Each structure stands twice: as structure tokens, then as C-alpha cells.
């Protein structure tokens, strides 16, 4: 009995020693070093070699050792204070589209906003060197309950909150090795988004608030005045939200290459047949509701998306340089009856014979950056142009080609990051005005970020936008009298990432 007690004491003593040797834990959380949380694209799954190439890719995520995995749950919470003034701040509804009760409307230019994002993922490495894993991006989704019915009665704060949901923006698996490159399959970025994590398009100086790419004004102000499509595609939902397969090579003398293929604009699961009471039937038989339709009556649907590209990253003396070019194309749905016809002057859409034709997607996206690390300066320029209209939409046949240029200058010194950028987008714009006029949109933003502590960022930003197309009324969102819109906004944001 005495021997048993002594053995039990030894076991408890050893167990206690092991417990105290571990990192302190509270409610399932593990204490560790704070680091800024990366997005779903990190140094393990977004490049052909683990931990990045040439030192340009962020190296914030631990690389698993052979036979082990690393489990991540990164996140982001952002709060914003806006003051935004646009040409669409007020309107007077008329005709059948007027909300019951009529009258004029004006929105408050001052708004507060907040949102969250979560980035769960896992990275593993087999003993034979195979790298593999999966990553997810979850976002808060906002629905305005006032839009559910034609009502002039505002919803309560609880009603607004209850309409919020969580959506999946990215969900993919990956496999690869440092010798053969990496393959990503699922709802994931294409070659453009993987080649540019924000450097070429100068998206990083404002703490990831978004500026031109779905930033503060686009998300909170009346959209007619500020909703300029982000034509350059990098980190944009239109580029990464459809399911695809992407291959990235390892780096060879500073060069790496990528290729992608996607059969449709969405996810095959969106062909759901409506298995629940809350889910509408879509694809019980071949029809317009099927995501993978190749013949039908939707002239705007593209399919069989293919992209190929090359990138260079290297150092020339005291200067870091990077350049890439991607060509992308996609076919289109064959029209078999139905469709849309242009009538009137300059034109309006009516449901008649399929006479509105579109060109296959065919465009080039290219970027260049020059970085002087000793001075903390990075200058970048990005271009997107060809047979495309706005953000990854097909151009109507006979329409003007797109030419979009974005350039920015970023300065970083310790906790301070300052930036300024200008974007100009020339495109066909309204399909009704094909061969009549083309759209020109301009946007300017500048400001900076201060990081007083790890994971904490304070952002101040100003933005100006202008939209013009002859014969188009942006406030009424249709052809008619030319009515341009402008917008000006200032924002202060507080961001916590982990």
C-alpha cells in the first residue's frame, strides 16, 4: 500500500510539473506573442515557396515542421467614423417607383460603422515535405431591413442587428512543395489576387480599410455617388469568390508563374434545388437558375475563365523591384431565344429578341513597384485594360475598351504609414449608350495609419470621387439627361487584428 501511495504521489507530482510548464490558458485561449492577423492568403498558402519569396511576402504565419500542423484563428474588428458628402445625398422620388408617402429624402452625412472578419485555417507538412492545408474567410454581412418592404418606418436597432449574418468569402484547400509549387482549389483568389497582395495597387497604407476597393465611402454613402467598380481586381470579391483551381510555380531567378481555371462565375453548390423551406428552387432542370448554364437567355454570363501570368521580384542595388503581367479570358453563354434588345434613343432595355451581344472577356492586368527600403518609400502603378467593362463584366459588342490606371506612393517609418493614390477608369459603362458615349471615373485618396501597439491601428483617410458619362443620369441610374456625381469623405477608423 505504501508503494502504491508513493507511486501515486510521483505521478501527481509529474503531472503538476507538466501543467506548470505549459503556457497559461484561460477559457480555451492560449497566451502568446501578439501578431497582426493575415488574411486567408498567407505566407504558407499564397506562394510557391513556404514563407514567401525574396522577402516581399509577409512572413507572419509559422511554417509547420515535418509531421506537424499549425492551426490558426486570426481575426479583425474595425470601427469607423465617417463624414461623407455626395451628389446623391438627397432625392425626390417620382412616379411608380416612389416610396409610399412620397416626399423628398436626405441622408445624414455622418455615420458610425463596425464590422468583423475571422480567418480560421490550418497549415500542415508531411514527413516527405508535402505542404497542405485549408483556409477560410468569414465576414459580417449587412442587410437593411428597411429594404424588405416599401415602408417609411425605420427598423429598430435590434432589427438591424438581427438581419446581419456571416458569409463565406474564401474557402479553399491547397497542396504543394517548395520544389514543385502549390495548387489551390476552391473559393479562392486567382492569379491576379495572388500576385498582388496589395502592394502593386497601393491598398496597404490605410490598415486594410479598403479605400477604392470597397472602402468606407463605397460601403456607407449612397452608392450612386461613390460606387466606382474596382477595375484592377486584386483582392476584390469578383476576382476571388468563384470556385477555381490555381497553380503557382516556385521562384526561378526571381521569376514565378501562375495559371488558373474556373468553369463558371460561381460555386457549383449554388445549383441548389431548394432542399429547405427557406431556400428557393434554382436548378431542378436546366434553366436560367442553373449556375453552370452554357446556353440560355443571359447574354452577360461568362464561363470557362482562364488566366496565365508571370511575376518578377528582386533587388537591384539598394532598390527592391517587382513586376507582373496577367492575361485573362472567358467565353460567354450562347443565346437561344429571349435576351435583351436595345430600342429607343439613345436606348432602353426591353425583354425581346436577343440582339444585345457581348464580347468574350479578354484583358491584361499588369503592375510595377519600386521600393527604397532605406527611405521607407514604395511607388507602384497598376493597369487593367481590354475587352472588359468595369469589374470583371463583359463588354457589349461595339463598346469602348476599358483602360484603368491606378498609381500610389506609400511612406513607412516605424509605427507610421502614409499613403496617397489616384485611380482613373475609362470604360463603356452603360450598355444602353454603346457607340454613343463612354464612362470616365476618377478617384483620389490620401491619409495614413498609426500603430501605437501590436495589433492596433488608427487610420485617418480622405477620399474624393467623380463619375461622368454623356447621356447618363447617375442619380436616377439610367439613360437620360447627363447628371454627373461627385463625392467627398473623411474617415477615422480603429482596427484591432490578431
So what's the pLDDT on residue 161?
76
**Residue 165, domain member (yes or no):** yes
Select from 295, 285, 303, 302 the least CA-distant residue to 339: 295
- Whether residue 332 lies inside any domain: the answer is yes
In-domain check, residue 363: yes
pLDDT > 50? residue 19:
no
Q: What is the pLDDT of residues 147-178, one digit of tens each?
A: 544 455 677 777 677 778 899 999 999 999 98
Residue predicted with more confidence, 51 or 120: 120
Note the pLDDT of residue 99. 45
Q: Apex CA 481: angle with CA 478 and CA 484, to 5°? A: 80
Q: Is residue 471 part of a domain?
A: yes
Read off φ and ψ for residue 309, nearest 5 degrees.
-160, 165
Q: How far apart are CA 325 and CA 404, in angstroms?
A: 14
Q: What's the pLDDT score for residue 168?
A: 93
**Total count of domains within the chain:** 1
- pLDDT over threshold 80, residue 221: no
Residue range 335-356: mean pLDDT, rounded: 50
Q: What is the mean pLDDT of the chain?
A: 82
Give residue-wise pLDDT tens across range 80-131.
998 888 877 776 555 444 444 455 778 888 889 899 999 999 999 999 989 9
Q: Which residue has the cell 458619362?
A: 469
In a domain, 10, yes or no: no
pLDDT score, position 353: 36
pLDDT of residue 387: 97
Given this model, what pLDDT does residue 208 score? 86
Within a domain: 204: yes
Q: Which of 281, 372, 392 is nearest to 319 (CA)?
A: 372
- The pLDDT value recorded for residue 230 is 95
pLDDT of residue 3 exceeding 50: no
pLDDT digits (tens, 9 = 90+) for 437-478: 999 999 999 999 999 998 899 999 999 999 999 999 888 888
State how far the Cα of 140 lies from the Cα of 302, in Å rounded to an integer: 28
Would you say residue 142 lies in a domain?
yes
Residues 6+ apart with CB under 8 A from 248: 46, 47, 48, 176, 181, 182, 184, 191, 194, 256, 257, 258
Residue 68 falls inside a structural domain: yes
Q: Which domain holds residue 126?
A: 32-273+298-497
Torsional sign, CA 269, 272, 275, 276: positive
Query: Is residue 394 classed exposed, middle or buried when 0-12, 13-18 and 19+ CB atoms within 10 A define those classes?
Result: buried
Per-residue confidence (pLDDT) for residue 27, from 0 to 100: 44
CATH number for position 71: 2.40.160.10
Task: Quickly state the pLDDT bin for 279 (edges 50, 70, 90).
Answer: low
pLDDT at 350: 41
Backbone angles phi, psi at 24, to 5 degrees: -55, 140
The span from the CA of 215 to the CA of 489, in Å, is 11
Amino acid at each position: 500500500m505504501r508503494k502504491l501511495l508513493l507511486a501515486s504521489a510521483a505521478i501527481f507530482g509529474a503531472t503538476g510539473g507538466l501543467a506548470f510548464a505549459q503556457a497559461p490558458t484561460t477559457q480555451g485561449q492560449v497566451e502568446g506573442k501578439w501578431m497582426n492577423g493575415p488574411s486567408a492568403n498567407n505566407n504558407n498558402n499564397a506562394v510557391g515557396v513556404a514563407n514567401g519569396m525574396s522577402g516581399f511576402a509577409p512572413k507572419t504565419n509559422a511554417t509547420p515542421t515535418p509531421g506537424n500542423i499549425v492551426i490558426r484563428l486570426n481575426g479583425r474588428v474595425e470601427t469607423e467614423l465617417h463624414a461623407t458628402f455626395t451628389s446623391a445625398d438627397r432625392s425626390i422620388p417620382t412616379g411608380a417607383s416612389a416610396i409610399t408617402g412620397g416626399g423628398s429624402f436626405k441622408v445624414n452625412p455622418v455615420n458610425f460603422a463596425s464590422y468583423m472578419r475571422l480567418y480560421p485555417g490550418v497549415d500542415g507538412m508531411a514527413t516527405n515535405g508535402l505542404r497542405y492545408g485549408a483556409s477560410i474567410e468569414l465576414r459580417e454581412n449587412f442587410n437593411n431591413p428597411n429594404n424588405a418592404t416599401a415602408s417609411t418606418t425605420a427598423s429598430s436597432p435590434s432589427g438591424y442587428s438581427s438581419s446581419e449574418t456571416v458569409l463565406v468569402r474564401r474557402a479553399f484547400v491547397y497542396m504543394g512543395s517548395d520544389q514543385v509549387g502549390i495548387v489551390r482549389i476552391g473559393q479562392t483568389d486567382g492569379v491576379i489576387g495572388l500576385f498582388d497582395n496589395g502592394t502593386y495597387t497601393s491598398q496597404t497604407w490605410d490598415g486594410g480599410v479598403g479605400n477604392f476597393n470597397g472602402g468606407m465611402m463605397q460601403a456607407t454613402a449612397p452608392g450612386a455617388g461613390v460606387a466606382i467598380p474596382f477595375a484592377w481586381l486584386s483582392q476584390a470579391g469578383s476576382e476571388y469568390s468563384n470556385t477555381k483551381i490555381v497553380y503557382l510555380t516556385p521562384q526561378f531567378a526571381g521569376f514565378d508563374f501562375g495559371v488558373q481555371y474556373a468553369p463558371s462565375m460561381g460555386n457549383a453548390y449554388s445549383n441548389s434545388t431548394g432542399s429547405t423551406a427557406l431556400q428557393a428552387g434554382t436548378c431542378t432542370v436546366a434553366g436560367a437558375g442553373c449556375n453552370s448554364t452554357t446556353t440560355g437567355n443571359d447574354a452577360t454570363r461568362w464561363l470557362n475563365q482562364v488566366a496565365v501570368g508571370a511575376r518578377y521580384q528582386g533587388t537591384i542595388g539598394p532598390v527592391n523591384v517587382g513586376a507582373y503581367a496577367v492575361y485573362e479570358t472567358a467565353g460567354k453563354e450562347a443565346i437561344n431565344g429571349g435576351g435583351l434588345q436595345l430600342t429607343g434613343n439613345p436606348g432602353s432595355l426591353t425583354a425581346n429578341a436577343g440582339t444585345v451581344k457581348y464580347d468574350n472577356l479578354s484583358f491584361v492586368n499588369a503592375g510595377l513597384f519600386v521600393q527604397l527600403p532605406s527611405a521607407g518609400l514604395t511607388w507602384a502603378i497598376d493597369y487593367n485594360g481590354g475587352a472588359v467593362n468595369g469589374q470583371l463584366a463583359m463588354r457589349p459588342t461595339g463598346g469602348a475598351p476599358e483602360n484603368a490606371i491606378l498609381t500610389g506612393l506609400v511612406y513607412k517609418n516605424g509605427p507610421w504609414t502614409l499613403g496617397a493614390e489616384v485611380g482613373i477608369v475609362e470604360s463603356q459603362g452603360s450598355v444602353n449608350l454603346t457607340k454613343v458615349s463612354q464612362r470616365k471615373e476618377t478617384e483620389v485618396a490620401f491619409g495614413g495609419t498609426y500603430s501605437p501597439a501590436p495589433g492596433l491601428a488608427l487610420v485617418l483617410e480622405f477620399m474624393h470621387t467623380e463619375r461622368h458619362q454623356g447621356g447618363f443620369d447617375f442619380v436616377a441610374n439610367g439613360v437620360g439627361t447627363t447628371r454627373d456625381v461627385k463625392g467627398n469623405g473623411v474617415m477615422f477608423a480603429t482596427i484591432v487584428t490578431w
